[in-house]
Amino acid sequence: MEDVVSTISRKANLRVVMVPSPGRGHLIPFVELSKRLLLRHNFAITILIPDNGSDMIPQRQFLQSLNLPPTISPLYLPPVSLSDLPSDADSITRVPLTVIRSLPAIRDAIINLQHSGEGLCGRVVAVVVDFLGADALQVATQLQIPPYVFYTCSAFHLTLGLNAPQLLHPTHQEDSTKLLKLPGCIPLLGADLPEPYIDKKKDAYKWMVHSHERISSDAVGIIINSFVDLESDIFKALTEERFRTGSGPTVYPIGPLKRLDSDEDLNQFSNESIDCLEWLDKQPESSVLLISFGSGIGARQSKAQFDELAHGLAMSGKRFIWVVKPPGNDVVPWNSSFLPEGFLKKTKGVGLVIPDWVPQIRILSHGSTGGFMSHCGWNSSLESITNGVPVLAWPQHADQKMNAALLVEDAKVALRVDQSSGEDGIVGREEIARYVKAVLDGDEAKLLRKKMRELKVAANNATGNDGSSTKSLDEVANLWKNQNPY
């Protein structure tokens, strides 16, 4: 972070406004993009954070832990009410509505920034919004500021969103074995469609289509947290489509936006979480499996699946760090009694069970870590790649199944847990033990490790000084500096 702080001494005279969606998972890449723009191009950044009345404490704590310089400044918008929505309304409905109801506050904030225009504030040269908040693009257009989207998912997911109304048919939604062929993409099973695309009659589908239609019509460019070597055919197809039609936003792959070890302030973690790093120091190279399913909806498993996972880890005999959440849907404090009887005794010295946040970047970058059992959220997928750690994919919801398919079938850097083989969708302990051994040991593990090392090198090259992602970021940044993006 010293490099970021040191840039304050160089006056930033141009400002970019970021509008992420609510939620830490979307906020993390926005912060990383902000740091990249400050370090390389000396832009000042204001991050306007919408508030839908839910608990904002985790987001505030996360931002406070980063020790960001004054030239990257979060601004919390006034909370808006979503009390008129049904209690079971999902995030794909809640997030766009939060942004829509925050549009007056977004407009006022940008106008205030434009009028301040002194010192570090600078004039606003671009507005960059999350793809689920694409309605905010209209504010930038009204204020005659170039409107951009930051796409925090894969190019695979972007292609689905842009093509769903034309290519997605009821048979893909009704038949889980039906293949959907998207331009430049591997065939996508109906079973791997994100939930919003399963039922065209539901609000979630309508909002997802609405967001992508807004992107197509209102955005000048799409900045995406991916890189050419990971999704080369998809980026080629997106570029060809734009040339064919002569319209639509330009796509700028600028990823992977890599968080560094030093970005993780250890003060935000419990002693138990920090102690796992010392434990890792004592383990053999590439011998430990990290198990974490993120912090979102899919992080909690049923009690039956939770127990099978515990038994499977014990049966495997392999070393592990398991970031646990209480099983079931009830939000209750963690208690070791949730674990099967005798589990801690069986795995003593072999595995760690941590019911808290862990320094995931430090764990993945550690030489003793040999695999990552992951839900395959896009942030976690990129973190696996940038640290060269093979993935044991266990996707839960949203775009995670698409990400898993990309890592397994296209990049070939992951194994995937078959969730269809067990009774009632429960993966048995024997199967889990077999997967754990496969990703850590044997010929298959060696091949995965080799492919992942190659992809790690490609990712590092992409974000190097002469890399494709760096050049792409430079291109869009220079457009902003020259104020001639159209």
Judge whether residue 372 has pLDDT over 60. yes
What letters, b where the CB count within 10 A reaches 16 and e where it falls short, cover 342-377?
Answer: ebeebbeeebbbbbebbbbbbbbbbebbbbbbbbbb
Long-range CB contacts (within 8 A, 24+) of 325-331: 325/293, 325/299, 325/300, 325/301, 325/355, 326/300, 326/355, 327/300, 327/301, 327/302, 327/303, 328/300, 328/302, 328/303, 329/300
Judge whether residue 119 has pLDDT over 60. no
Residue 26 is a catalytic residue: yes
Judge whether residue 19 has pLDDT over 90. yes
pTM of the model: 0.91
Specify the pLDDT at position 406: 98
* Apex 33 CA angle, 118 and 291, nearest 5: 145
How far is residue 481's CA from residue 42's CA, in Å, rounded to a whole number?
A: 10
Pick the CATH number of 2-258+463-482 from 3.40.50.2000, 3.40.1390.30, 3.30.70.270, 3.40.50.300: 3.40.50.2000
Specify the pLDDT at position 67: 78
Beta bridge partners of 14: 123
Q: Is 234 exposed, middle or buried (0-12, 13-18, 19+ CB in 10 A)?
A: buried
* Average of per-residue pLDDT across 115-124: 66
Average pLDDT, the chain: 88
Beta carbons of 392 and 371 less than 8 angstroms apart? yes
Catalytic-role residue among 90, 130, 263, 307 = 130
CATH architecture of 268-460: 3-Layer(aba) Sandwich (3.40)
Specify the pLDDT at position 271: 61
Residue 199 is a catalytic residue: no
Q: Which of 159-173, 199-213, 461-475 has the highest mean pLDDT?
A: 461-475
- Condensed to tens digits (0 to 9), the pLDDT of residues 295-336 reads 655 556 888 999 999 999 999 999 999 998 877 666 666 777
- Condensed to tens digits (0 to 9), the pLDDT of residues 216-251 reads 999 999 999 999 999 999 999 999 988 777 778 999
Beta carbons of 326 and 333 less than 8 angstroms apart? yes
Specify the pLDDT at position 4: 44
pLDDT category at 172 given cuts 50, 70, 90 is low
Q: Where in the chain is the domain with CATH 3.40.50.2000?
A: 2-258+463-482, 268-460
Specify the pLDDT at position 1: 44
Specify the pLDDT at position 6: 43
